Amino acid sequence: MAIKLIVGLRNPGSAYEQTRHNAGAWLVTALAQRHSSHFKIDKKMQAELTEMDINSHPCRLVLPLTFMNHSGQTTRIISQFYKIEPSEILIVHDELDLPVGRIKLKTGGGHGGHNGLRDITAQLGTGEFHRLRIGIGHPGHKDLVHQYVLSRPSMNDRQQIYDAIDRGIAIIPMVLSGDMARAMNQVNA
């Protein structure tokens, strides 16, 4: 099934803009910029929204105005308003369980401890949506996770994340057309 909604998870505001936790929003923002698409704030939808078309496949891009732990609220409101099924949604997010710079496309599954995914799953009533996971690495101990995801990556890590974002953007045309198997083969290799 083709993707109609791409949500870049983040914490809004300048204090969080450059933190690891916002890697999903970095990809969605870069995708919009490459296609000369501009976000507009929609308070009713609790998001920054833009629409774009890639290879005759229309899609809405979303940057929630809610904090990470309430990303599901925005995702639910928008998907209900536009009548978009969970299987037509791609959530782009940071992933502690992938090394810095790795990127993986996945369909369905649990939240893996990610509070944004936990809320989206709860709000949609299912985990059967697609995820583009951007590796940010792990600090080594669970007690360090909160501080780690809310900190800025080193220049080296940031470059590896940007490289992963480029690889992620390269598969978006396949994802929008519904060719998940080909997209997974390319990005998960």
Q: Is 185 annotated as a binding residue?
A: no
The one catalytic residue in 21, 93, 114, 130 is: 21
21 catalytically annotated: yes
Q: Give the number of residues written for the chain.
A: 189
Going by their DSSP bridges, the two strands 89-95 and 103-107 should be labelled as: unpaired
Q: Is 69 annotated as a binding residue?
A: yes
CB atoms under 10 Å from CB of 119, counted, come to 23
Cα–Cα nearest to 26, from 39, 8, 45: 8
Contact 48, 40 (CB under 8 A): yes
Q: Is 115 annotated as a binding residue?
A: yes
CB atoms under 10 Å from CB of 159, counted, come to 13
For the annotated catalytic residues, the residue numbers are: 21
Q: What residues form the annotated binding site for tRNA? A: 16, 67, 69, 115
